[in-house]
Amino acid sequence: MSKKIFKQREGKRIMRLVVDLVPNQTLEYRALNQYWIHSFIWDVLKDTKYSTLHDVKGFKFFSFSSIFPINKNIEEGKKYHLIISSPSHDLIKVLKSNFSELAFFGNYSFKIVGKRLVKPKLKPVWQTSTPIVLYKDNKKNQYIKITKGDVRLFFERLVDNALKKYKAFFLEDIEIENLFESYVFRKQVAVKLEKRGSEFIIIGSHWKFNVPKIAFSDEQLKRFYLFLYDCGLGEKNSLGFGFVN
């Protein structure tokens, strides 16, 4: 189904959409729910050619950052930012052209005071802005926990997920030896989400990665890493997990 939605796979270089937001009220930063940002994006896409993507099983091919700068409180009248990324240039353009003047995250409203496209370059060092999430057993709703010693399983699942996403989008395979040249584990986090009145916890982890040097000289590998950069690492990217900078 997603093959019919994402028709232009080779088109222009991927762009990220930066949205400038000004809150209409002061609120605690921890009151912001990631699921609300996710819902806001789907609301923008509701009456577009991407409206059916929500119900497609499989990868959605977009992710988003936390609202930043991050402080204890989000203060009324101050400017904040949200970045939405996707390997689909067209999806990003559709989002940009369909924003209204207000963004609603749950019961909180923000004025949209700016929206602009930026063209990221492939960076040698990546840092997660939102945690990477990978299932240990999705049937039991169990996540991989680095503090439990599941580092090898984490990277096995991370590589497998990356290759599957690439193949689903470009309809071709790619071979890689190591996803990253080196890595540093930063911390593990538990993220509380609220969905339709119910709360649930998602376990993820933050990392710093070094991209293999060969990715800057091999065109297919470069495309692969640029794709990952804008699609997001791990699972639940459309919920804002695995966003990297």
Q: Give the tens place of pLDDT for each residue, 143-194.
A: 999 988 899 999 999 999 999 999 999 999 999 888 999 999 999 999 988 7
Confidence category of residue 55, pLDDT binned at 50, 70, 90: confident
Q: What is the CATH number of domain 2-118?
A: 3.30.70.1890
Confidence category of residue 196, pLDDT binned at 50, 70, 90: confident
Q: Hey, what CATH topology would domain 125-239 get?
A: Alpha-Beta Plaits (3.30.70)
DSSP β-ladder status, 16-23 and 63-64: unpaired
Note the pLDDT of residue 214.
Answer: 94
Are the C-beta atoms of 76 and 24 separated by less than 8 Å? Answer: yes
Confidence category of residue 14, pLDDT binned at 50, 70, 90: low
Q: Which of 205, 181, 194 is nearest to 133 (CA)?
A: 205
In this predicted structure, the answer to whether residue 47 has a pLDDT above a threshold of 60 is yes
In this predicted structure, the answer to whether residue 9 has a pLDDT above a threshold of 80 is no
**Hey, which bits of the chain come out as E strands?**
16-23, 27-28, 63-64, 73-74, 80-85, 102-105, 108-118, 125-127, 135-137, 142-143, 182-195, 198-210
Furthest C-alpha separation in the chain = 49
In this predicted structure, the answer to whether residue 10 has a pLDDT above a threshold of 50 is no
Residue ranges matching CATH 3.30.70.1900 in the chain: 125-239
For 143, other C-beta atoms within 10 Å of its C-beta total 20
Q: Model pTM greater than 0.75?
A: yes
**127-155: average pLDDT:** 93
Residue ranges matching CATH 3.30.70.1890 in the chain: 2-118
CA torsion, points 129, 189, 185, 176, in degrees to nearest 10? -70
In this predicted structure, the answer to whether residue 67 has a pLDDT above a threshold of 60 is yes
Taking the C-alpha atoms of residue 245 and residue 230, their distance in angstroms, rounded to an integer, is 9
C-alpha to C-alpha distances, 245 to 48, 54, 56, 113, nearest whole angstrom: 28, 25, 27, 23
Partner residues linked to 126 by β-bridges: 209
